[in-house]
Amino acid sequence: MIFNFNAAEVFDIAINIEENGKQFYDRSREIIKDPEVIKLFEELAREEIKHKEKFQALKSQLPASAESGAVFDPNHELDLYIKMMADQHVFISSESLEAQLGGIKDARDALKLAVEFEKDSVIFFLSMQDATEGAKGKDFIGSLVKEEQEHLRRLSLELKKIGRK
């Protein structure tokens, strides 16, 4: 069965992903020692808050039609499905986040995991953009993708820099 999500649902998932991204960056800083990576993760944690706020604001600007269900859902199971989709993200759930954090030994490990997280975010949002109806919803989701791509770029540069040390 193919689901066509509306833009409001995608923003709910995005908000959840940003909350967990902030938690990851905050918790990783407690583990790693590299001051440059700690500084980058502090910046990214702050940006995750800003992204969450931006996504909430964008969601509030959506027309009422963007919040209507694109699928017949008489049992209100769509929220559960969307949550399950988000849970497939690299560490969207707290259990998965804890397991991933347990594997971090140094800044390189943290950066690699952060790159994976941001890549998953980009892929997830692109997939959701394809599944979303309406040009305005697709445009809004495109803005999510750009935000995550910028995180990915910054993390990749830092990982390369550490590789040269």
Domains and CATH numbers, the chain: 7-164 (1.20.1260.10)
**Rounded mean pLDDT for each run of 10 residues along the chain, 165 residues in total:** 58 82 93 95 94 84 65 61 63 68 91 91 76 71 85 95 79
User: So what's the pLDDT on residue 92?
Assistant: 57
Whose tokens are 């066509």? That residue is 4
Query: Do residues 28 and 110 touch, judged by C-beta distance below 8 A?
Result: yes
At residue 14, the 3 state secondary structure works out as: helix
User: So what's the pLDDT on residue 155?
Assistant: 96
User: So what's the pLDDT on residue 164?
Assistant: 72
Q: Quick one: three-class SS letters along 28-96?
A: HHCCCCCHHHHHHHHHHHHHHHHHHHHHHHHHHHCCHHHHCCCCCCCCCCHHHHHHHHHHCCCCCCHHH
What type of residue is 21? G
Backbone angles phi, psi at 5, to 5 degrees: -85, 150
Whose tokens are 């990915």? That residue is 152
Count the Cβ atoms, other than its own, within 10 Å of residue 157.
11
User: So what's the pLDDT on residue 79?
Assistant: 59
User: So what's the pLDDT on residue 72?
Assistant: 57
User: So what's the pLDDT on residue 161?
Assistant: 92
